[in-house]
Amino acid sequence: MKTKLEINELQGIPLVVQEKLLHEINNGNVELIFATSPHFSTINQITVILNKDIPEAKRQELQESSWTKEVFKQFGVVVTFCIHIVFPFKSDYHLTYLSLYLNPQFIIYSRKDNSWGSLLQNFYTFSIRRQLSQLDNWVLEIKQKHEDYKVRFIASLVQEKQFQAVFIMYVHIIRFYLHSVQSMLFPKNTIIFNSDVELLESIEENYPELSQIFINNDIDKMYLCNLLDADCKTEITFEENDFAKVENICTVIQGQFEIAVNNFFIPRIEYLLSDLKGKQIFCKVEYEQFMLDAVIKRLLQSYDIDLVYLIESKVSNDSMEFLLFIVGSDIKIQMEQHISTLIRNHFNQRVEITCLLHKTTWIERHGTKFLPFIYERITDANVIYSRTPKKHSKFILPVFELPEDTDSSYWQKDFWKLCQDNLESQWLQMDLFSFSIYQIGHVAQLGSIFKQLCLTFLYKKLNYVPHFASPRYLWKLVQWADRDYSNELMSIEQSDAFFSFLNTKLPYFPRQSTSANNPSQEQYLNTLRICKDFYNRIKELYTN
């Protein structure tokens, strides 16, 4: 369980929100903070559960702060300050909001290790069947209330010919459905919409499945908006044909409600809980371990593996990433892409693994060059799978048989000298010390230069280099080694263009090529700039 806000957990959250959250945490007002996954909510939501001792006036003050509205207007992020008290049960959250948005895997802050468990586990089920049963019961409850309105109020009003009151009652039912949808998407008292019309337009823009309840071929949208806006502006004058018109709108909404709610929520509930299969997991750490165990189980079904070490893990709102060191007698480095794709597809794109693949003789043959990496990463604490109890000790035994005065530091200096000579030789071949004009051969040369840069960077940062030299694979390892610098060097958009340039296919025979099939001078210069910046950074690392 997260007991503090971490930088990687806050990525994508506006700085003003980070500052406000930290302020409230430091004041002891916050129990839990969740960041919803974009897969479940098009509108990004930061949900703050306040301590139970926070008075209602303070909660209202936080919720109605002007900055929360500005954050929504400027960044599209909804920040809500809510309460959830177990005994007596008092909550600002609808059951669907609890199910989808307050799952333990979305926690970015917890005051105590057991905060989520003590507040929510009694009202949360990890069973898909039970979750869907809860949803069915709620939909049935909404439909029953609609029928009650018709029997208890509308029927008697029609009998008494109180058509103006009937008209008002139907408008009330329309609002009832609209606010029911709102309660599924946002906590109670969320103050981001100034009117029901704004709410309806937001649902139409961000949740098209749910907007089908109110905006479809059988409903005049303009007329519906006028009905919802009546209290805010002028009263609509009731005419004879309005009775049938508004009655028809209510009938259409009633028919669409169950269909749209099920189409929206059932796939999300199944997606969220499919991996858990009814297993109750009450904290984020347990969820990460559960998923890691599932990854290992899937790998063992397809590959003959002796050892697996967890080097590092990263968890975002959308997915989990694991950097694994895998050892096996029949392991080949070329299997990396197949293994990664297997796991990605098995977990519906939600789990990503990067593999460092080696045979059981790797340490025996190359251990001296990688001693710092082995001592830090290939340890008892990092083992997450071993075919037999002695596999790990047997694998690392060669490094303990080295002479006591063994020093691997000179490998870095020699490696840097070798790489520097290779790089500068290729710079000269491309005539990069003067203004360079793109030529077809530069693709292969820059690809070679980039791979050499990645290997040099990895050896300095991790004391490790892989045998596999795919540019994209090496870049993934660079991102693991130093995510901040990799983001600084290349954004996601820049990296897409960069690797697109390196993937330029070279012709086997002379042919007439169109400019559309060839990289532009600008693409070439951008790629060249990135390589030069990368080289200067590495040179600085090795010489300081």
Q: Amino acid identity of 395?
A: F
Q: Which pLDDT value is given to residue 299?
A: 94
Q: Which pLDDT value is given to residue 1?
A: 45
**Does 509 have pLDDT greater than 80?**
no
Q: Which pLDDT value is given to residue 233?
A: 47
Helices (H), 389-509: 391-400, 409-429, 442-462, 471-481, 483-489, 492-502
**Does 511 have pLDDT greater than 70?**
no
Q: Which pLDDT value is given to residue 534?
A: 93
Largest interatomic CA distance in the chain: 102
Average pLDDT for 227-251:
72
Output 385-393 pairs: Cβ under 8 A, ≥24 positions apart.
Answer: 385/296, 385/300, 385/305, 385/307, 385/308, 386/306, 386/307, 387/305, 387/306, 387/307, 391/306, 391/307, 392/307
H-run or E-run covering 333: none
In terms of pLDDT, which residue wins out, 74 or 469?
Answer: 74
**Does 7 have pLDDT greater than 50?**
no
> For the chain, what is the radius of gyration of the CA atoms?
30
In terms of pLDDT, which residue wins out, 516 or 430?
Answer: 430
**Does 443 have pLDDT greater than 80?**
yes
512 — pLDDT class (breaks 50, 70, 90):
low
- Cβ neighbours, 10 Å, residue 397: 13
**Does 155 have pLDDT greater than 70?**
yes
Give the up-direction half-sphere exposure of residue 468: CA atoms within 13 A in the CB hemisphere.
Answer: 20
Across the chain, mean pLDDT equals: 83
Q: Which pLDDT value is given to residue 163?
A: 76
Average pLDDT for 247-253:
90
Nearest to 24, CA basis, from 48, 6, 2: 48
**Does 261 have pLDDT greater than 60?**
yes
pTM of the model: 0.61
Q: Which pLDDT value is given to residue 226?
A: 86
Average pLDDT for 240-267:
87
Average pLDDT for 213-239:
76
Q: Which pLDDT value is given to residue 323?
A: 94
12 — pLDDT class (breaks 50, 70, 90):
low
Q: How confident is the model over 157-213, as pLDDT tens digits?
A: 878 878 788 888 888 999 999 999 999 899 987 888 888 999 999 999 999 999 999
Q: Which pLDDT value is given to residue 341?
A: 92
**Does 433 have pLDDT greater than 70?**
no
d(CA 360, CA 329): 5
**Does 515 have pLDDT greater than 80?**
no
d(CA 298, CA 302): 7
Q: Which pLDDT value is given to residue 254?
A: 92
Average pLDDT for 328-357:
89
Average pLDDT for 378-405:
87
10 — pLDDT class (breaks 50, 70, 90):
low
Least confident span in 4-18, 93-107, 229-243, 254-268:
229-243
Average pLDDT for 136-151:
90
Q: Do strands 383-386 and 307-315 pair parallel, antiparallel, or not at all (unpaired)? A: antiparallel
Token couple for 458: 């990895």
> Is residue 92 a contact partner of residue 119, using CB atoms and an 8 Å limit?
no
Exposed, middle or buried, 439 (CB in 10 Å: 0-12/13-18/19+)? exposed
Q: How confident is the model over 86-109, as pLDDT tens digits?
A: 755 678 888 888 878 888 878 888
